[in-house]
Amino acid sequence: MAMAEAGDMSIQRSDLEQVARSIGERWGRRLKEQRIANGLRLGSWPCALEEARQLIDELLGRRLSEEEREPLAIIVERSARRAWY
């Protein structure tokens, strides 16, 4: 994927990957903070790749092909998992 169209602007792949990292980190921290605030043990990462795909779809409005979306979803999930631990 060289670029994805988002409205009237083009977004470079490297920019999308950085956005995916940020989304994942925030997602992982938010879930961790919620779990701690509720007095629950952290345990293993509670989410799956499908949830990361849904986040990408929500944020980019399903403008990406499956080939474009999948690597970004993996980045989101892995970044969230790192933030969790």
The residue ranges of every structural domain in the chain are 49-85
Phi, psi (degrees; rounded to nearest 5) at 83? -65, -30
Q: What is the pLDDT of residue 13?
A: 76
Question: What contacts 64, CB < 8 A, 6 or more positions away?
Answer: 1, 4, 56, 72
End-to-end CA distance of the chain: give it in Å, rounded: 31
Cα–Cα distance measured from residue 4 to residue 50, given in angstroms and rounded to the nearest whole number: 21
pTM, two decimals, is 0.81
pLDDT in tens, 21-51: 999 999 999 999 999 999 999 899 999 999 9
Cα–Cα distance measured from residue 85 to residue 83, given in angstroms and rounded to the nearest whole number: 6
